[in-house]
């Protein structure tokens, strides 16, 4: 089996637009024998890996796939770092890769693996790879990666206590376009007429190819996707989703076990992620008891499932607001991936009295920030600011709890023109000025 080597053909794709995780991948390759890049299809995993790989084997090639099925070791040979693309189609590759790293004295930077789903036959994997193989998650492109955001307001700098005002005029029409186009590298430079076709094609590919490959029913999956789109940015129960999936027909209503298994499948395809509840201190039971919110990895997916266009969303700002929240969570996950620390996390806050905060960013060293997401800067008003301040006072006001003050509190907005600090210290930041 002969891998494609960098000496034979340059592997870095022409026209590659740098990604936030490029530096993270480089760091992990210097620390581990192998790195696995996971994320949804079409988000750019392969191109990012090829920029650092010196050789590659791609399992979407029939001959390569057949060789890997015969002997997984055949696709592990090549100049290092060697890429194995879509390794999950032959799960035995994982254990072979772990042995390969061990056999080469755990030398750093030997292999890169990419995967767009969890392997169907996970029982064929016998070792975790801990200490030898690191995992890095990729997301669709953030606005700063696609060039829509200036990135003038750095999330890292905010945690370092640095904020610089910025200017970038954006409208609700811009937000609607961004939500429907999505962060797919394939639509860079395309007019809306063509870019808006990509999310529809993505959903079609998932239903026609990915879901049958995992042994699931595409019709049930589509009904769940529509139910999740209807309950966007919410924490629906399995019962609520089952009701919405049945369209009022009890004979079509799935049971909770079915709903759960299909949600897990969509998570295995990296199309959904959970946002857990947050409450300090670390051992609070509320962290466990607060239901997770379920988000799509990109706003274009629920928009496509719901049949929403930018023009339609301008007449339905409630749905647009939910899609914008998905966009903000996508971008925050991208920017957080560039910050040091293995325990960094996003969550949300809701107490028993209904006080809510959309996003809590918690760093592994204990620093944290609070973010309210608003479609327009007109909502960054005194009434909503009072709720953020009340949240801070509740969390930090008890000296026995020993919770540190937040590094920042922010309104992250869609429509807006200026990133600035209010008199009460709360930041107002248009999403088109935010970056890593």
Report the run of H or E that residue 22 belongs to, with start and end: helix 22-31
How far is residue 340 CA from its own chain's centroid? 17
Q: Are residues 112 and 196 in the same domain?
A: no
Q: Are residues 150 and 94 in the same domain?
A: no
Q: Are residues 114 and 151 in the same domain?
A: no
Q: Are residues 151 and 123 in the same domain?
A: no
Return the higher-pLDDT residue of 130 and 10.
130
pTM: 0.94
Can you point out the beta strands (E) in 286-407?
293-296, 345-350, 356-362, 368-376
Containing structural domain, residue 354: 143-435
Q: Are residues 155 and 288 in the same domain?
A: yes
User: Tens of pLDDT along 24-66?
Assistant: 999 999 999 999 999 999 999 999 999 999 999 999 999 999 9
Tell me, what's the pLDDT at 266?
Answer: 97
5 band by pLDDT with thresholds 50, 70 and 90? low
Tell me, what's the pLDDT at 287?
Answer: 52
Tell me, what's the pLDDT at 282?
Answer: 52
Tell me, what's the pLDDT at 233?
Answer: 86
In the block, which residue shows the tokens 């009701």? 243
User: Tens of pLDDT along 357-372?
Assistant: 999 999 999 999 999 9
Return the higher-pLDDT residue of 319 and 1.
319
Q: Are residues 113 and 226 in the same domain?
A: no
Return the higher-pLDDT residue of 290 and 350.
350
Q: Which two tokens stand for residue 44?
A: 């750019």
Residue 166: pLDDT above 70?
Answer: yes
313 band by pLDDT with thresholds 50, 70 and 90? very high
Residue where one domain finishes, among candidates 137, 157, 191:
137
Q: Are residues 120 and 191 in the same domain?
A: no
Tell me, what's the pLDDT at 18?
Answer: 95
User: How much is the average pLDDT of 379-402?
Assistant: 90
Q: Are residues 178 and 250 in the same domain?
A: yes
What b/e sequence results for 231-242 when a residue is b if at least 16 CB atoms lie within 10 Å of its CB, and e otherwise? bbbebbeeeebb
Instruction: Reduce the DSSP state of residue 121 to 3 states and report it.
Output: coil
Q: Are residues 208 and 316 in the same domain?
A: yes
Which residue pairs, CB below 8 angstroms and at least 24 apart, start in 272-275? 272/228, 272/296, 272/297, 273/297, 273/333, 275/329, 275/346, 275/347, 275/348, 275/359
Question: Parallel, antiparallel, or unpaired for β 345-350 and 293-296?
Answer: unpaired
Q: Are residues 348 and 221 in the same domain?
A: yes
Average pLDDT across the chain, whole number: 92
User: Which range (111-115, 181-185, 285-289) has the least confidence?
Assistant: 285-289
Count of other CB atoms within 10 angstroms of residue 99: 15
Q: Are 316 and 180 in contact (CB under 8 A)?
A: no
User: How much is the average pLDDT of 142-167?
Assistant: 97
Q: Which two tokens stand for residue 413?
A: 């907005």
Tell me, what's the pLDDT at 382?
Answer: 97
Any residues with CB less than 8 A from the CB of 35 and at least 6 apart, and which? 25, 28, 29, 81, 111, 112, 113, 133, 134, 135, 136
In the block, which residue shows the tokens 């719901």? 306
Q: Are 112 and 81 in contact (CB under 8 A)?
A: yes
Number of domains present in the structure of the chain = 2
Tell me, what's the pLDDT at 7?
Answer: 42
Q: What is the dihedral of CA 7, 11, 16, 20, to 10 degrees?
A: -100
Residue where one domain finishes, among candidates 87, 105, 137:
137
User: How much is the average pLDDT of 9-26?
Assistant: 88
- CATH number of the domain that residue 74 is part of: 3.40.50
3-state helix/strand/coil string of 40-105: CCCCCHHHHHHCCCCEEEECCCHHHHHHHHHCHHHHCCCCCCEEEECHHHCCHHHHHHHHHHHHCC
User: How much is the average pLDDT of 247-267?
Assistant: 91
Residue where one domain finishes, among candidates 120, 137, 154:
137
Q: Are residues 83 and 97 in the same domain?
A: yes
8 band by pLDDT with thresholds 50, 70 and 90? very low
Q: Are residues 321 and 415 in the same domain?
A: yes
Return the higher-pLDDT residue of 111 and 123.
111
Any residues with CB less than 8 A from the CB of 280 and at least 6 apart, and which? 395, 401, 403
User: Which range (40-49, 183-192, 390-399) has the least confidence?
Assistant: 390-399
């Amino acid at each position: 089996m002969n891998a494609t080597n960098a000496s034979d053909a340059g592997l870095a794709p022409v026209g590659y637009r740098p990604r936030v995780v490029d530096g993270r991948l480089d760091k992990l390759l210097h620390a581990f024998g192998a790195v696995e890049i996971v994320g949804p299809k079409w988000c750019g995993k392969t191109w990012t890996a090829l920029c650092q790989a010196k050789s590659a084997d791609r399992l979407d090639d029939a001959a390569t796939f057949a060789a890997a099925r015969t002997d997984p070791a055949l696709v592990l040979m090549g100049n290092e770092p060697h890429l194995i693309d879509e390794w999950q189609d032959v799960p035995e590759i994982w254990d072979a890769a772990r042995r390969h790293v061990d056999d080469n004295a755990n030398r750093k930077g030997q292999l890169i693996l990419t995967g767009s789903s969890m392997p169907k036959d996970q029982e064929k994997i016998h070792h975790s790879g801990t200490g030898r193989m690191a995992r890095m998650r990729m997301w669709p492109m953030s606005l700063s990666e696609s060039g829509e955001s200036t990135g003038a307001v750095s999330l890292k700098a905010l945690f370092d206590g640095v904020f610089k005002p910025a200017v970038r005029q954006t409208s609700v029409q811009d937000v609607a376009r961004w939500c429907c186009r999505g962060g797919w590298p394939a639509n860079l430079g395309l007019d809306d007429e063509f870019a808006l076709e990509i999310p529809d094609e993505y959903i079609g590919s998932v239903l026609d190819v990915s879901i049958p490959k995992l042994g699931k029913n595409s019709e049930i999956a589509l009904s769940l996707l529509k139910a999740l789109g209807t309950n966007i940015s919410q924490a629906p129960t399995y019962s609520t989703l089952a009701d919405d999936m049945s369209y009022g027909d009890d004979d079509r209503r799935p049971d909770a076990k079915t709903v759960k298994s299909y949600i897990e499948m969509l998570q295995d395809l990296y199309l959904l992620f959970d946002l857990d509840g947050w409450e300090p201190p670390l051992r609070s039971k509320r962290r466990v008891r607060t239901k997770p919110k379920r988000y799509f990895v990109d706003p274009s997916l629920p928009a496509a499932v719901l049949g929403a266009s930018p023009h339609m969303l301008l007449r339905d700002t409630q749905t647009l607001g939910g899609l914008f929240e998905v966009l903000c969570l996508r971008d925050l996950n991208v920017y957080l991936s560039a910050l040091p620390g293995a325990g960094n996390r996003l969550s949300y806050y809701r107490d028993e009295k209904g006080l809510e905060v959309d996003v809590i960013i918690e760093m592994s060293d204990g620093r944290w920030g609070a973010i309210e997401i608003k479609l327009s800067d007109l909502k960054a008003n005194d009434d909503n600011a009072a709720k953020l301040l009340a949240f801070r006072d509740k969390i930090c006001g008890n000296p026995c709890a020993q919770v540190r003050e937040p590094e920042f509190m922010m309104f992250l907005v869609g429509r807006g023109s200026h990133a600035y600090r209010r008199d009460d210290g709360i930041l107002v930041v248009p999403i088109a000025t935010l970056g890593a």
